[in-house]
A and B are shown apart, each in its own frame.
Chain A
Amino acid sequence: MGELTDLWVGVQNWLFETFVGPVIFWLGQMAWYEPAYSAVEFVMLGVVQIVVIALGMRFFERRWPLEKAGDDRLIGVDRVYTALNKLGIVPFAIFVITYPISQEIELLMRSWGMAPPRLERLLPWLGDNVLASFLVYFVLYDFAAYWLHRAQHAAPWWWALHSLHHSQRRMTVWSDDRNHVLDDFLMTLALVLFSQMVGVQPGEYVSILMVGRLIESWSHANVDMSFGKVGERLIVGPRFHRLHHARANPDERHIHDHNFAPVFPIWDILFGTAIYDGKHRPTGVDDPRVDADNGRGWIVQQVTVFGRFLRAVTPRFLRAPVQPGLRPPAE
């Protein structure tokens, strides 16, 4: 483990001191020296995730695909989303906007003498156990992500953005990052603020993100697999999450309003949104305007979905009378 850490940190240090650090120094932005070093690690983690997806998860999809037929050309754009996200390009743009906002809020609170409430004050033993601490914060983070996910479905303006994620008819391990940048920004801001509030450490945040996103990539895989009868109630797997991406049909108008949990299905079980029926359903959104996302490239998707969002936030009396795709299909 020590050698692995040394290797990892050695590569990170080399990349930083060779390419990034000198640029920061040359630009005279030394206040960003430490965050830039963390950014290098973020990109490295992204590369690892891409390798795990491409070599590990794809193996299962190739060997035991659930949907054997379909238009594979639809998958290409999801690979672009994955590369842009995992290699830090979209996260960097989001960070530039999110960081000052979250900092201002945190600093304002602290200037009032309000320190983030740490769980360790309530549970002192937590501070002595790295793994337990990680798990507790991970569960809390996932709890917040569950409710935010429900909000993405419940608020029409947010669904206008989030429906892009659901519009994919060929769902694969590459589909997790298929999101509108504004949707990514809102989720990041909310989760960063939540993490600061409960006292997640920067190092822990990166680990949570890394493990969580890998599980989420796997849960989008084109396979009919789970972690077993007990396991699928502990960790979200492809079978559980595929139901969340199911296309609404006349008998199940709100089928996609189930199985929201990103990592721990306990939230769906507790709040009555879990379905474990093992049925195979086609994925996508039963709305021609949203379904039209399929086959579009990254830029066109971003522009058209932003249009959907603008329309959703426009007051009703200014809108055209019929505009499907702005909200989940009604009962």
Chain B
Amino acid sequence: MKKLAIAAITLLAVIGTARADSVLVLNSEEASYSILSRSTRTELARLPVGREPHHLVVSPDGKDVLIGSTATNELLVLDSKTGERRRVVRDIIDPYHLGFSPNGKWFVTVAYRLDHVDIFHADGFKLAGRVFIDGLPSHMTFDAGSNTVFITLQQSGRLAAFDLATQTVKWNVPVGNTPAGVVMLPDDKRLLVALTGEDGIVVIDAKDGTQTGRLQTGKGAHGFWPKGDGRHWFLSNRVEGTVSLVDTQDMKVAGTIKVPGGPDCMDITADGKELWVTQRFLRRVAVVDIEQLKVVASIPVGKSPHGVFMLKSPPAAPGSPVSPTGGPLRAVSTGSGTTR
């Protein structure tokens, strides 16, 4: 009984601390999420979550963070400020990657291993349509008008555009070997697609899927995260063990950060000073000083850390833009934040 009381007090203390400055990390191979302290750079708690959690997304109102528990067909809903568990949404099949449309009306999940895309009415998670598509659908981004969701197909090396209202495929084009992260730029015309089976990214015309450019970044180009200035995006290169800073205006690599251990998902602190990157293979999360473009700390977490999210993100004000995957945009409008 005494032990139980101590555990309860400790948990309360952890949650209390989590309110101050915390980071949430999904440990995909051990069914847990870690809550880290940004200031002390330590793990405060490790809590259970479903099975094989990979990605997460913030609700359009900024109040919740939704974790996709792929092997249990569930979403775990946490308070986006404190990390406290709120509820579980069941019967969401294989929610590997997930996102809300910018207008908050649509909620989309990709069933990576089941080869289908589910488009829900975000209000109440009612399934509007399921589209079966070959090739391991993996990551997504939306257009600003919330008409289309663009999804990479890792195995078939293609990018497909889906009409949200009709739940049909608008176009489906080859883009390269193992496309993963995809992001819509603020001009709402160009898409960047990371080619994990190659060493860079391609630029795709969102209108019809035409390839208009290519940029070499590093082997295993994988996931994007916006720097917050509307111009630069961070890009993890999983095989190369680096994170590139991509200047999307001049389409060049503006900087490269060595991040060993299969860097994957990223998130940026509210002050824009630090980029946190999950190091899948090292069971750690790297903290990158954005000004110096170098890793300044690496924090141990659970096995195969994947999604990462800064708790206490500023909630979106009513009517303010949200990122295509649902997170409130930080600083200026930057288009889309994708994989977490």
Contacts and interface: CB of A to CB of B under 8 A. Distances in A.
B72 A203 contact: no
Contacts of B47: 128
B290 interface: no
B114 to A, nearest CB: 5
A116 interface: yes
Nearest to A13: B281
A110 B70 CA distance: 10
Interface in A80-128: 103, 107, 110-111, 113, 115-116, 118, 120, 127-128
A16 to B, nearest CB: 6
Given A34-B304, A202-B29, A25 B220 contact: yes
Given A28-B178, A115-B74, A203-B303, A13 B282 contact: yes
A203 B30 contact: yes
A120 B113 CA distance: 24
Interface residues of A, number: 35
Contact of B72 (A10, A12, A21, A116): A116
Nearest to A115: B73
Contacts of B274: none
Interface in A2-54: 2, 5-6, 9-10, 12-13, 16-17, 21-22, 25, 28, 30-31, 33-34, 37-38
Given A25-B219, A199-B51, A9 B239 contact: no
Contacts of A6: 300
Contact of A5 (B31, B238, B283, B304): B283
A128 B48 contact: yes
A201 interface: yes
A202 B64 CA distance: 28
A199 B116 CA distance: 23
Contacts of B280: 34, 37
B114 A110 contact: yes
Contacts of B48: 120, 127-128
A203 B27 CA distance: 11
Interface in B278-309: 280-283, 300, 303-304
B260 A13 contact: yes
A116 B239 contact: no
A23 B154 CA distance: 18
Contacts of B282: 9-10, 13
Interface string B304-332: 10000000000000000000000000000
B254 interface: no
Contacts of B26: none
A164 to B, nearest CB: 34
Contact of B30 (A21, A110, A201): A201
Contacts of A33: 196, 220, 238-239, 262
Contact of B155 (A31, A113, A202): A31
Contacts of B114: 107, 110-111
A127 B239 CA distance: 33
Contacts of B155: 31
Nearest to B48: A127
A18 to B, nearest CB: 11
B261 interface: yes
Given A9-B283, A31-B136, A33-B196, 15 more contacts: A6-B300, A13-B281, A22-B239, A25-B197, A28-B177, A30-B197, A31-B154, A33-B238, A37-B262, A110-B93, A116-B72, A120-B48, A127-B48, A199-B72, A202-B52
